Structure 1
Amino acid sequence: MTHTDTIVAMATPAGAGAIAVLRLSGSDAINIASTIFTSVSGKELAKQKTHTVHLGNIKDGERVIDEALITIFKNPNSYTGEDVVEISCHGSNYIQQEIMQLCLRKGCRMAQAGEFTLRAFLNGKMDLSQAEAVADLIASDSAASHQLAIQQMRGGFSSEIKKLREELLNFASLIELELDFAEEDVEFANREEFQKLISKITHVLKRLIDSFAIGNVLKNGIPVAIVGEPNVGKSTLLNVLLNEERAIVSDIAGTTRDTIEDEITIGGISFRFIDTAGIRETVDVIEGLGIKKTFEKIEAAQVVIYLFDAEKFQVSGSKFQDEIETIKNKYPLKNLVIVANKVDKLSEKEIKNLQSAISNLQLLSAKTNQGVEELQNKLLEFVNTGALRNNETIVTNSRHYDAMLKALKEIIKVQQGIDSGLSGDLLAIDIRQALYYFGEITGEISNDELLGNIFANFCIGK
């Protein structure tokens, strides 16, 4: 693959629709488009201004394929930084393929996954972290994941990293300069100012690293496991939350034998609910495997909803309380929501007794929708969206997270070297390594394998 070719791909999803868009990018994009397009005004495309739209016919020789609009973006003022042409045609599959084949015969090459955005990166239109945010933006399916992707694509995260790298690079240059004058025993880098910078970088890196915990779940959805004994209403609750009959509901204990998962958005945050098999002693091999999966899902969940039958509390209250304590002790770091279901069948006195017996209890009737909104609000309490509201930088990319962990490790080494009076040549080694990891994030330092891994996850046409 060479990045000097003119490439073409569909920019709209496969399938028939009202319109479809083909995108060309490269030095010959406008010339190739000119050979297949006849403007109704008779104007030559190559002589037209950038960011202009033209109506005409796409033709294969004398055969008219479609009436279409062509939009021209001349370098460097385009998405890729190259000449770009977008053909808006009618959305027939036949028309799309005819125009695509025509472009290929005229000298285009089929674009590979993410190649338009890769060219934008290579041509300096965006840095690597911004390019990765493009894929996140396309994949965003909630208000929170959309806001995070927009923030990163606008350079909020990369600008913070670039600033730190630039300041560290300035001091690194001064320390490297000291090595050239080692015999004169001069000090160009003010150690006190350098100490302040290292402390600042350490603080910022730790904040960004800590933000990944919330950023990762906001991006991918917060997994919530619904657990409890058989027949307490777990599947009914899932159906109510999803507003559809997703799980089979039955009076027969042990109906749910495998986990059922689905996502909904609450308050702009994506939650992935997991209905699990009821926890009980069983001799049924299949049901037993389902219960084993239940505990695996609890391990993977961010939030656990423990659901019990409020009607049975009078008889089995101590058993439910023991199970709650077991989950708390086994999973002390999990956010646990205790929910009493079927409260519509209790008297006010029984409800008060229930609330006094279990603190922070959520009352629910999955059958009548009572308490569902309160449960949703409770789930939202576990998500710290304050950083989102304040437009603080939140890390969502595991590659960035890994690079920052490595950078922090090197910065800590630099700090230890300063504290122990380490010589400049040894300090310079750790500083260079920290700079390397900073550069990996924004793309100042990259290689073909890294770029291949990143852009392989993009869709064709972007």
Structure 2
Amino acid sequence: MISQDTIVALATAPGTGAIAVIRVSGPDAISTTSQVFEPVRGGSLTKASSHTVHLGYLKEDGRTLDQVLVTVFKGPNSYTGEHVTEISCHGSPYIQQEIIQLFLRKGCRMAEAGEFTLRAFLNGKLDLSQAEAVADLIASENAASHQLALQQMRGGFSNEIKNLRQELLNFASLIELELDFAEEDVEFADKKQFSELLTRIQQVFRNLIDSFALGNVIKTGIPIAIVGEPNVGKSTLLNALLNEERAIVSPIPGTTRDTVEDELVIGGIGFRFIDTAGIRETVDVVESIGIRKTHEKIENARLVIYLVDAKEVNLTQEKRKEVQGRLALLKDQYPGKEMLLVVNKVDALEDGVLSRLTEEIPNALFISAKENKGLDTLKDQFLNLVNTGALTSGDTIISNTRHYNALIRATEEIRKVQEGLESGLSGDLLAVDIRQALYHLGEITGEITTDDLLGNIFANFCIGK
């Protein structure tokens, strides 16, 4: 798949800015740039040292396009492993396109999505999981997802998988060697050591698989559904959390008929808040569709805020039991789902009532979305959902679904090998399962891959990266 074309693309975001960077990579990157670049101090880029920056003018047939800075990277000591030039020009979209068109006329072609990083992978500058982390790093929108992508790009996860794969490969080689000497009944592989290795590998895989629950929500944002009866202040709470008028607020029950979603970063973690239609019996067709969507959002949420009106729970003991009963019913309907009872509109309560209700409903959090009271405590509850200890301690966390699926399949094969070893299965049958485990581990780092897989991965990259 390694192409000998020299490619060019805009490496910075399109649009007007102070500067833009145009990246050129390939065997003719430096020589082609040298043809159209006139350095202020003379000389030729082809004779320049790697990792040097040169001030000059881009020209075509005597016409000056722009004054630019050209940075030279000579392969293999570059991002792609090839000769690379990066042209820092003024950020006019017209200038950007003029420069790109100039390089196209000089024989370069437009880079495809992710092609620079694809070349870095194919030239051994990055493994596949590190290359995927580059895309995650670009897409990171909060401190946690940024840190997660950075950890993976540094290669901690890759090295862990590579080391385990190498150990497994060493034992596989010994077992394969035993097959060549089957008639002599020679044993090269220490079965006890092999069993210990399999146990250790399974433990590491289990830890990595378990980490996906945290890694995935950090990467995509933690979904929180705000549900409850009509007119308890769900939309007001969403607006208060986001500090903007995101949802329509009205005293008319059933105002929210569809879900309203937005994101907020709290403590470096991204949260996706979903304001839902009020849950009640209704004959209104449109509202009933909204209520059905509410249940879909509850199913997908990591946390459900069950919001109730303080005036309702203050009426009678029976009303308080009724609220607790509705919450219990919701918990039964969605077992295992994290749910938080939040009592809203405490600003409407008379003095002294709040302290009494706090004692009578100890499992509730009391707030006033309208007056912004109790929201900091509520946000602390959100952060308590996320165990960021593994993230801050530098433990390996996986956030990529492809890696997760490959680990699941590899774990299943390792389990088969362990069972086969304990039951005295012949070496040739053990070798089949070991090879399958090695295959799935190789898929993660890219030691084993296909053109289709690479196409799917790098198609999600931006052009210029």
Report the TM-score, using the length of structure 2 for normalisation. Answer: 0.98
Question: 1:79 is paired with a residue of what secondary structure?
Answer: coil
Q: Displacement, 1:213?
A: 0.8
After superposition, the C-alpha distances for 1:128-184 in whole angstroms (9 at most, x for unaligned) are: 000000000000001110000000000011111001000000000000000000001
Measure, in 1, the Cα distance between the counterparts of 2:359 and 2:180: 75
After superposition, the C-alpha distances for 1:79-134 in whole angstroms (9 at most, x for unaligned) are: 00000000000111111111000000001010000000000000000100000000
Question: 1:204 is paired with a residue of what secondary structure?
Answer: helix
Measure, in 1, the Cα distance between the counterparts of 2:408 and 2:271: 28
Question: 2:314 is paired with a residue of what secondary structure?
Answer: helix
Q: Displacement, 1:319?
A: 2.5
Paired position in structure 1 for 2:20: 20
Alignment of 1:324-339 (within 5 A): 324-339=327-342
Aligned counterpart in structure 2 of residue 440 of structure 1, from 435, 440, 443: 443
Aligned counterpart in structure 2 of residue 454 of structure 1, from 443, 448, 457: 457
Measure, in 2, the Cα distance between the counterparts of 1:305 and 1:319: 17
After superposition, the C-alpha distances for 1:274-330 in whole angstroms (9 at most, x for unaligned) are: 000011111111111111110110001000000000111133323311111011111
Paired position in structure 2 for 1:311: 311
Alignment of 1:43-442 (within 5 A): 43-315=43-315, 316-347=319-350, 349-442=352-445
Question: 1:13 is paired with a residue of what secondary structure?
Answer: coil
Q: Displacement, 1:186?
A: 0.8
- Structure 1 stretches lacking a partner, 5+ long: none
Measure, in 2, the Cα distance between the counterparts of 1:356 and 1:348: 15
Q: Displacement, 1:2?
A: 5.9
- Structure 2 stretches lacking a partner, 5+ long: none
Letter in 2 for 1:408: T
Letter in 1 for 2:120: A
Measure, in 1, the Cα distance between the counterparts of 2:359 and 2:188: 69
Measure, in 2, the Cα distance between the counterparts of 1:326 and 1:409: 37
The answer on whether the counterparts of 2:22 and 2:88 sit within 8 Å (CA) in structure 1 is yes
The answer on whether the counterparts of 2:235 and 2:247 sit within 8 Å (CA) in structure 1 is yes
**CA separation of 1:199/1:348 partners in 2, compared to 1, >3 Å: closer, same or farther?**
farther
Measure, in 1, the Cα distance between the counterparts of 2:362 and 2:148: 35
Measure, in 1, the Cα distance between the counterparts of 2:267 and 2:332: 31
The percent identity for this pair of structures is 66
Measure, in 1, the Cα distance between the counterparts of 2:47 and 2:181: 58
Letter in 2 for 1:35: Q
After superposition, the C-alpha distances for 1:420-442 in whole angstroms (9 at most, x for unaligned) are: 01111110000000000000000
Measure, in 1, the Cα distance between the counterparts of 2:350 and 2:398: 48
Q: Displacement, 1:55?
A: 0.5
Letter in 2 for 1:313: V
Question: 2:86 is paired with a residue of what secondary structure?
Answer: strand
Letter in 1 for 2:241: L
The answer on whether the counterparts of 2:11 and 2:463 sit within 8 Å (CA) in structure 1 is yes
Q: Displacement, 1:361?
A: 1.2
Paired position in structure 1 for 2:7: 7
Measure, in 1, the Cα distance between the counterparts of 2:313 and 2:47: 81
Question: 2:283 is paired with a residue of what secondary structure?
Answer: coil
After superposition, the C-alpha distances for 1:7-33 in whole angstroms (9 at most, x for unaligned) are: 000001111111111000000000110
Letter in 1 for 2:141: D
Measure, in 2, the Cα distance between the counterparts of 1:332 and 1:283: 28
Measure, in 2, the Cα distance between the counterparts of 1:292 and 1:348: 39
Q: Displacement, 1:348?
A: 5.2
Question: 2:307 is paired with a residue of what secondary structure?
Answer: strand
Q: CA RMSD in A?
A: 1.0
